[in-house]
Amino acid sequence: MAKEEGKIKIGDIVSGAVLAGLGVFIIVEARGWEYLGPDGPGPGFFPLWYGIAMVALSLLLVALSFVARGAEPGKAVNWREVANGLSAWAGLALCVGLLKVLGFLLGFGLFVFFLVAVIYRQPLRTAVAVSVGMAVGFYLLFPLALKLELPVGMLGF
Partner 1 sequence: MEIFGHLLQGFGVAITPINLFWCFVGCFLGTVIGILPGIGPAATIAVLLPLTFKIEPTGAVIMLAGIYYGAKYGGSTTSILLNVPGESSSVVTCLDGYQMAKRGRGGPALGIAAIASFIAGTLGVIGLTLLAPPLAKFALAFSAPEYFALMSFGLAMVVLLAGESFVKALLGMLVGLWLAGMGIDLFTATSRFTFGSPDLLDGIDFVVVAIGVFALGEVLVNMESREGGQMLPVPKGLRNLLPTWQDLKDCRFAFLNGSVTGFIIGVLPGAGATIASFITYGIEKAVSRHPEKFGTGVPEGVAAPEAANNSDAGGALVPTLALGIPGSGTMAILLAAFILWGLKPGPFLFYDNPQFVWGLIASMYIGNVMLLVLNLPLVPVFAQILRLPSYMLFPGIFGISIVGVFSVSTSLFDVWMLAGFGLLGYMMRRLDYPAAPLILGFVLGDSVERSLRQSLMMSQGDLSILVSRPLSASMLILTALVLIVPLFRKANAWRLKAAG
**Which residues contact partner 1 by CB under 8 A?**
11-12, 15, 19, 22-23, 26, 29, 33-34, 36, 39-43, 45-47, 50, 53-54, 57-58, 60-61, 64, 78, 81-82, 84-86, 88-89, 92-93, 95-96, 99-100, 104, 108, 111-112, 115-116, 119-122, 126, 130-131, 134, 138, 142, 148-151
Q: How many CB atoms lie within 10 A of CB 102?
A: 20
Minimum CB–partner distance for residue 91 and partner 1 (Å):
9
What is d(CA 7, CA 21) in angstroms, rounded to the nearest whole number?
A: 21
Q: Residue 3 or 64: which CB sits closer to partner 1?
A: 64
Helix (H) or strand (E) holding 41: strand 40-41
The residues, ordered by sequence, that sit 6+ positions from 151 with a Cβ below 8 Å of its Cβ are 99, 100, 103, 104, 107
User: Measured from the CB of residue 2, what is the shortest distance to partner 1 in angstroms?
Assistant: 19
Residue 2 vs 135, nearer CB to partner 1: 135
Q: What angle do CA 27, 38, 44 make, to 5 degrees?
A: 10
